[in-house]
Amino acid sequence: MNRLAGLPDIMLAPNGARLGKADHPALPVTVAETVAAARAASEAGAKALHAHVRDAEGRHVLDAGRYRELIAEMSRAVPAMPVQITTEAVGRYTPAEQQRVVRDVMPEGVSVALREMWPLAGPDRQAARFYVWANEAGIAVQHILYAPQDVSRLLALAAAGDVPGPLQMLFVLGRYATPCEGRPEDLQGFMDAAAEMPEGSEWAVCAFGQPEQACLLAAARRGGRMRIGFENNLLRPDGCLARDNAEQVLALRRALAAEGLCREP
């Protein structure tokens, strides 16, 4: 059974593709550091890992071997925590290269940005075949959506049969470019666009910057899931630098419990 067939309440995103030790000394860049961060976050309440891997210089890579190493180490050290890999392009990888790493790794789950995998308007046989193949292979695909327009486009592709449903969607509040922090009020546009999502579909939120926790609480109040971690934000809600990923997860759990949205950690 695929443990990512349903979205976890809290998914950890401990590093992402762009930040490094210069941004925060506790940001994991090696496989060993990522596993250690995942173990600590699991103890704090995270239920799954959204994983990026880095090369020897700390750069984001779509490397099947490194992903397989990470998944094997996670299976040994944190066996209850499933791993979702990423296909994030960061301006370096083509859709074909993104698809290849998924086929080579065969993970339980993968995050795929619709804008990257299906970059042009109109038909794309290669992209459509990938989505159908991943569904048939039992790989849980989470669709990364950066704007309400992305949601509308994904739903149109699903209605046309090009992207199998039900859908797992991640609404991204804010962005790296500019930069722009996420805001809880940004969620409404995504929810409006997703009003007619296929039956059984699920959605989650991640958010850039200091308002991260407020954005995730707004999602939880509306029945959404949450992705949290240093990939999107290094700050506590008070603006101070967080100690590590686990501290962020624990603070979110406590905030959720204060509103009766989860059990006290």
> pLDDT digits over 200-243, tens only?
999 999 999 999 999 999 999 999 999 999 999 999 999 999 99
pLDDT, mean over the chain: 96
Is residue 4 predicted with pLDDT exceeding 90?
yes
Residue 1: predicted pLDDT: 83
Residue 57: predicted pLDDT: 95
CATH fold for the domain made of 10-258: TIM Barrel (3.20.20)
pLDDT-derived band of residue 176, with 50, 70 and 90 as boundaries?
confident
Residue 264: predicted pLDDT: 65
pLDDT-derived band of residue 175, with 50, 70 and 90 as boundaries?
confident
pTM for the model: 0.97
Between residues 64 and 121, which one has the greater pLDDT? 64
- DSSP string covering the chain: --TTSS--SEEE--STTT--TTT-TT---SHHHHHHHHHHHHHHT--EEEE-EE-TTS-EE--HHHHHHHHHHHHHH-TTS-EEEE---TTT--HHHHHHHHHHH--SEEEEEHHHHS-SSS--HHHHHHHHHHHHTT-EEEEEESSHHHHHHHHHHHHTTSS-SS-EEEEEESBTTTTB---GGGHHHHHHHTTTPPTT-EEEEEE-STTHHHHHHHHHHTT-EEEESTTT--B-TTSSBPS-HHHHHHHHHHHHHHTTSS---
Residue-wise pLDDT for 78-134, tens only, equals: 999 999 999 999 999 999 999 999 999 999 999 999 999 999 999 999 999 999 999
